[in-house]
Structure 1
């Protein structure tokens, strides 16, 4: 049996296993069948939860920088951002203002102030460039919380600061950016797999508001508030990705950040093309492979790298609901475990089984 060089490059399985846990379990399963193979472990992300973990593991010399911020409901959160060796900073919304920090959900009150505080901490430390990961948001505040932490002032018609969260958007009458921190000299790149505009039927409130707990009448109120914000800020609300993270994408674009495909941007920083090019076989995956997976998510990005390098791409997913075109083999944990509940109850176990099954296919 010829020994192979295998790159393992999955995203997280949202809610059940981090990208690092997925990578480790797949590696253990693979090595149980093919112990002589050389494995390259490179968990990836597309800007969602686990982006910091992926950078920390994949980039030698990456350092965690602790920061205490105001969480999405105002309670203090002990978080961190990543300082890369090239003096870039990576800040993840999920760990500062994310939906997993709330119970119960607060669709009208939750805000992104803590995300902005972490961005400000990175800027104040002297980073040359920022990567801003937008997945896992809890709020629909148009990024007003983040911009407030960066120095912008949002006031109502009486000149009073508007309350934080989506509810406050309806009262915004003026915006003062006199003291707004500048984008670092090397720029700020938004990492997101979302291409939705800010407003309307495909916008932040309508598409993502219900996931954050918003009822129908609240969705309408949030969309109206975002429309009011857009009229004052003036940046085009139709910009692809403006609707990311409850409109935080829009606020950051107005600040001067640039939207990028999350998986591709993360992969470039981590040198994923080089890792894949050096491999014979590439394993990638995500929690759910569906009709949206070809829209810039990790599996489609890795598959394209493998095709360009002449490597064999393999897929693992918690559930597969779309044809996994282009992959030499694919394993669904739901089918492997017999049910979605079983797969989600012991995801790491079934990932090991999936790794072993894929190893038998080559």
Structure 2
């Protein structure tokens, strides 16, 4: 195999098996075993969900550990990342499923308050540019808790402050932003296009994943509709409820747009920008990306598809590795991939794939036909 040109590894996590950094390390080990001396550069990536802070740290940000309020009110340790005047924050850190005590879901009362606390901590640290990664939330509160943590008051008809959670928004009568903290620049990293309301909205699509029953979904959707109506009528006069991405992270996308002046961008594009992808791709012979399951959902803003788009702009061929791949050759080609390779091709037992993902990924990497893919001379 020719050694001309380096290989760039830009993989997301293999959920349930490997973090993005671990997946990247196993890929590198397999490639080096097959081709000693091969030049390898790495960019562990994320699409705005879990792993976004880690990706920022890999890109040179400093990790900051703090205390915040978990989704059900219990204190929790959470992290964000800082470089200069920019902070990278994940909803999953303070308002995610991992923060549920004993893993017990609270679909009606879980809150995004802790995420607002992280934003406030970043602002107190001098950051003026906030990148907020949506994904992995345990709440369906439309971002109400987040804006409360930033100083907003959500009041019922009697002027009383609402308790936490999405269900309480059914009683919302007024939003008071008098004491609300302002954010100079808020960029929301989002990989879904769901609106806030309706059959494709935050409650209907993601509520069941957070423990919501059919009855809970109906209640939450109605409460979020009231939230959107009050916010629109009393503050922005612009209805963001049906904006693609407003339903992300239990509706936090809506609050970010309607109350915080955010702009939504694909999470993977933000991460690649932070990591200076064009510079690392320059001169590469091949880019390898991947995630646990490569499927049609991967083509809707997930990390591998974003890497493929960026690779095309750099003129470098790209292949994907995954635990399982259900995309057809035509779908892969249309998305910009030369090929895809799956751990399931080495180990048909999917449970073993999850348990042995690291060693299997090394085997897979060692067998990749790099010269054939790139057209390099052997």
Given the alignment, which residue of 341, 352, 355 partners 1:342? 352
Query: Corresponding residue for 1:290?
Result: 295
Q: Deviations over 1:121-160 (max 9, x none)?
A: 1111111211001111111000001100000011112221
Q: Deviations over 1:50-89 (max 9, x none)?
A: 1011110122xx21122100101111111121111x3201
Say yes or no: does 1:252 pair with 2:256.
yes
Separation in 2 of the partners of 1:190 and 1:278? 31
Separation in 2 of the partners of 1:211 and 1:239? 22
Q: Give yes or no for contact 1:47–1:262 (8 Å, CA) kept in 2.
A: yes
Q: Out of 100-109 and 244-253, give the one that drifted further.
A: 100-109
How far off is 1:307 after superposition? Answer: 2.3
Q: Deviations over 1:303-351 (max 9, x none)?
A: 1222232322111112111222232231112232212211112222222
Query: Corresponding residue for 2:375?
Result: none
Query: Corresponding residue for 1:32?
Result: 33
Query: Corresponding residue for 2:235?
Result: none
Q: Give yes or no for contact 1:34–1:359 (8 Å, CA) kept in 2.
A: no
Q: Deviations over 1:169-207 (max 9, x none)?
A: 1121111110110012xx110001011110001111111
Structure 1 unmatched runs, 5+? none
Say yes or no: does 1:63 pair with 2:62.
yes
Query: Corresponding residue for 2:140?
Result: 140
Matches within 5 A, 1:42-121: 42-59=43-60, 62-84=61-83, 86-102=84-100, 103-121=103-121
Q: Out of 209-218 and 153-162, give the one that drifted further.
A: 153-162
Structure 2 unmatched runs, 5+? 233-238, 373-378
Separation in 1 of the partners of 2:371 and 2:321? 13
Separation in 2 of the partners of 1:306 and 1:261? 16
Query: Corresponding residue for 1:357?
Result: 367
Structure 1 consecutive aligned stretches of length 4 or more whose deviation exceeds 6 Å: none
Q: Give yes or no for contact 2:286–2:370 (8 Å, CA) kept in 1.
A: no
Say yes or no: does 1:242 pair with 2:246.
yes
Separation in 2 of the partners of 1:39 and 1:53? 20
Query: Corresponding residue for 2:129?
Result: 129
Q: Report the count of equivalent residues.
A: 357
How far off is 1:359 after superposition? Answer: 5.3
Helix, strand or coil: the match of 1:337? Answer: coil
Helix, strand or coil: the match of 1:191? Answer: strand
Separation in 2 of the partners of 1:82 and 1:8? 22
Separation in 1 of the partners of 2:94 and 2:170? 24
Alignment root-mean-square deviation, CA:
1.4
Matches within 5 A, 1:139-288: 139-184=139-184, 187-234=185-232, 235-254=239-258, 255-288=260-293
Q: Give yes or no for contact 1:30–1:359 (8 Å, CA) kept in 2.
A: no
Q: Deviations over 1:224-268 (max 9, x none)?
A: 011000001113211110000000010111121111111112211
Q: Give yes or no for contact 1:289–1:320 (8 Å, CA) kept in 2.
A: yes
How far off is 1:360 after superposition? Answer: 5.9
How far off is 1:361 after superposition? Answer: 6.2
Query: Corresponding residue for 1:304?
Result: 309
Q: Out of 259-268 and 221-230, give the one that drifted further.
A: 259-268
Q: Give yes or no for contact 2:2–2:371 (8 Å, CA) kept in 1.
A: no
Q: TM-score with structure 1 length normalisation? A: 0.95
Q: Give yes or no for contact 2:194–2:200 (8 Å, CA) kept in 1.
A: yes
